[in-house]
A and B are shown apart, each in its own frame.
Chain A
C-alpha cells in the first residue's frame, strides 16, 4: 500500500488538473462528484508521477510482464517505458486475420503477469480480462488499479481468488479534499448521504 504522503500528493495533483470535479447535483440520485480519469492521457507529467507510485507498489511482486487492457489511460505503457519492463496488451475481441491472438505481445506459457488498470468499472469485464490471461497459460500475480470507487468492486474480484489493490480510494480523495478545503462540509455531507444510499443497493 501507498504511504499517506504519496497518496496526498497524488490526490492534490489530480484535483489541480481537474480530474476530480464537483458539478452541481441535479437530484439526490446523481453522482455528487465526477472522476475524469481519462484526463490523465493528456497530462504526461501526472502520468509519470502516477506510474512512479504504481511501480513502488508493484515492485514488491515477482513478475515477468506487465499487462494492460486497451483503455483510455496508457498506464501500463508508461510503466513499461519508465522501468523498461516488457508488457503485453489484452484485446477486446479476437480478429480473424493475422495471428488471431487475444493477447498482443511476446510471452510464453507460465510467465507471471501483473495487471494494471485505472479502476474496476465492471467486475465481470475485469474478470474476463483476467480469464483471458489465465486461459493463455499465464499466471496473474495481481491486479493493481489507480482508484477504488467503492461499491464493492475490488472485493468481487478478490472473492474470485485474485489479488486486487487500489492506490487510492474514494474515501482518501474526499478526506484529502476536505482537509485542504477544496470542498465544503456541505459537499462532503452530500457525498456521504449519496454513498449511504448506494451501499444498500450495492449489497442487495
Chain B
C-alpha cells in the first residue's frame, strides 16, 4: 500500500466518524450482545461525497485484478457498488435478498453471461458465513467469483475463512486500524479506546473458542 492510499483511507475513517457512521455508545448487535461502537454504512447514502470517497478507496483494490462485473449485495453495499459502477463505468449486477413471486423470480438481476468474472463487494465481514450465501447464487448461474472485497473486517476471522475456501478476499481496513486512526487524531479518548479494544478481543476470542473446542481442551 502506498502513502496516497493510506492517506485516503485515513481521511475516509475520519470523515466516517465525523458524520457518525462510526459511532460510539451502547448498541445492541444482531447476536444480542452490547457493543461500545457501531458502524452503520447504510447512512452513507445521505452523504454522496463520502459515498464517492469510499468507492474510490475500494476501487484502488478492485482495479488490481481483471474482472467483468461488479456484484452489489443488499443492503448497505448496494449504493457503494452502484457508485463504483457509475464512477468507473463498469457493469453492475444486483443480488436479491428475497425472491419475488412475480416476474421471472431470478435471484440475480442485470445482464451477464456464463463464465464472466465477478467482484463481490460488501460493507463489512464478520465470520464470513454470509459471504458464502452471496457467492453461492452467483456461482449457480455460471459466473466466476474472482475476488471478494469488503470495506471493514470486524476481526472475527471472516477474511481468513473466505480465503481458506479458495477465494481471493481483501478487507480495506479493520476495527483496530479505525480505532488507531481515531485515537491518533484525538477523536476518542484513552478509556474509549481501551473499552473498544477489550470488546474486540472478547468477541474474537469467543468465536475462536467456539470453532476450536478440542485444542483448548488439550492445552489444559
Which positions in A face B, CB cutoff 8 Å? 38-39, 41-45, 47-48, 65, 70, 72, 74, 77-78, 80-82, 84-89, 91-92, 97-99, 104-107, 121
Q: A42: which of B49, B52, B87, B110 is its contact (CB, 8 Å)?
A: B110
Question: Contact at A104–B43, with CB atoms within 8 Å?
Answer: yes
Q: A45-B89, A105-B42 are in contact. Are A81 and B83 (CB under 8 A)?
A: yes
Least CB distance from B39 to A in Å reads 10
B67 CB-CB contact with A under 8 Å = no
Bound CA–CA A78/B81 (angstroms): 11
**Cβ of A41 and Cβ of B94 under 8 Å apart?**
yes
Residues of B within 8 A of A (CB): 19, 27-32, 38, 40, 42-43, 45-49, 51-52, 69, 72, 74-75, 78-79, 82-83, 85-87, 89-94, 97-98, 102, 109-112
Given A48-B86, A70-B75, does the pair A41, B93 have CB atoms closer than 8 Å?
yes
A38 to B95, CA, bound (A): 11
Assembly CA distance A53 to B65 (angstroms): 34
Number of A-B contacts (CB under 8 A): 109
Please judge, given known A-B contacts A38-B109, A44-B89, A91-B75, whether A84 and B43 are in contact too, CB under 8 Å: no
Say yes or no: A42 contacts B69, CB within 8 Å: yes
Structural contact, A81 and B91, CB atoms closer than 8 A: no
Residues of A contacting B109 with CB < 8 Å? 38, 41, 72
For residue B83, which residues in chain A have a CB less than 8 angstroms away from its CB?
Answer: 77, 81
Q: Give the complex CA separation of A171 and B91 in angstroms.
A: 29
Is the Cβ of B74 less than 8 Å from the Cβ of A44? no
In angstroms, Cα B74 to Cα A72, docked, is 10
